[in-house]
Amino acid sequence: MTDAITQKGFVIHPGFLDRPAQEALVARLREVLAVAPLFTPRTRRGPMSVRMSAAGTFGWYSDSRGYRYERRHPDGIDWPPIPEEVLAIWRGVSGCARLPECCLINWYGEGARMGLHRDEDEADFSCPVVSVSLGDDGLFRMGNVDRGGRTSSIWLKSGDVVVMGGDARLAFHGVDRIRFGSSTLLPKGGRINLTLRVVT
Ligand SMILES: O=C(O)CCC(=O)C(=O)O
Ligand SMILES: [Fe+2]
């Protein structure tokens, strides 16, 4: 693990997870996804390119009715518990006494992206959102609390952890593109991003 980098209030921990830790995490996530399969969220503008699932008390969900947190997977089952390995990352970097209530799982296949947005559906912004990147490189764009203005971009690699707290908690961010096949962690390629959130 190298020293943290701060850009526009986003704290980036390059290589926070070594390869064995990444592999252990992927094995846990496969167990979660076996219970709560990936689904394609829809917005008013159509299906998202990212596929999603979640662990924890709440999962983030979007359909034609809009965005919200839900206590159940769209198949009607409870979300599986957040794996202990994921909670350990939160304890290591969040500086927050509360535990995350949602571990959102985003799966980016070839060509998937996530437009600039703010994570603002939570009731309490005093804890950060912690993001964990696994698999292919993703070009992460960091903006400002208000839409517009200068942005800054960084390629997030497998094992990198980003803490969006303080001024960055409500800052715009997104993923412009991934380098499909750049990592050997996931045999079929793709990028997994976890975001850990205190929701209530
Ligand atoms: O994939 C990423 O690195 C960011 C994901 C994100 O911003 C989100 O799920 O809200
Ligand atoms: Fe986000």
Global pTM reads 0.97
Which residues are 45's β-sheet partners? none
Instruction: For residues 123 and 55, give the distance between their C-alpha atoms in angstroms, rounded to a whole number.
Output: 18
- The stretch 112-127 carries a mean pLDDT of 95
13 annotated ligand-binding residue: no
pLDDT band at 165 (very low <50, low <70, confident <90, very high): very high
- Whether the CA torsion 145, 53, 62, 50 is positive or negative: it is positive
136-154 pLDDT tens trace:
999 999 999 999 999 999 9
* ipTM of the complex, rounded to two decimals: 0.99
CB atoms within 10 A of CB 57: 17
- Tell me which residue has tokens 């995350």: 100
Q: Dihedral, CA atoms, 46, 75, 188, 48, nearest 10 degrees?
A: 10
Domains of the chain: residue spans and CATH: 5-197 (2.60.120.590)
| 18-52 pLDDT, tens digit each | 999 999 999 999 999 999 999 999 988 899 999 99
Cβ-Cβ contacts under 8 Å for 21 (sequence gap 6 or more): 85, 159
Is residue 64 scored above 90 in pLDDT?
no
pLDDT the model gives residue 45: 85
CA angle 48, 122, 59 (to 5 degrees): 50
What is the average pLDDT score of the chain?
96
Summarize pLDDT for 99-117 with one digit per residue, the tens: 999 999 999 999 999 999 9
Residue whose Cα lies nearest atom 9 of ligand 1: it is 195
Question: In this structure, what token pair is assigned to residue 142?
Answer: 């960091």
176-197: average pLDDT: 98
Instruction: Please list every protein residue whose CB sits less than 6 Å from any atom of ligand 1.
Output: 104, 106, 114, 119, 131, 133, 138, 140, 156, 173, 175, 193, 195
Residue 194 has pLDDT above 70, yes or no: yes
What is the Cα gyration radius of the chain?
A: 15
Ligand 1 atom closest to the CA of 193, numbered from 1: 1
CA distance linking residue 152 with residue 147, whole number of Å: 14
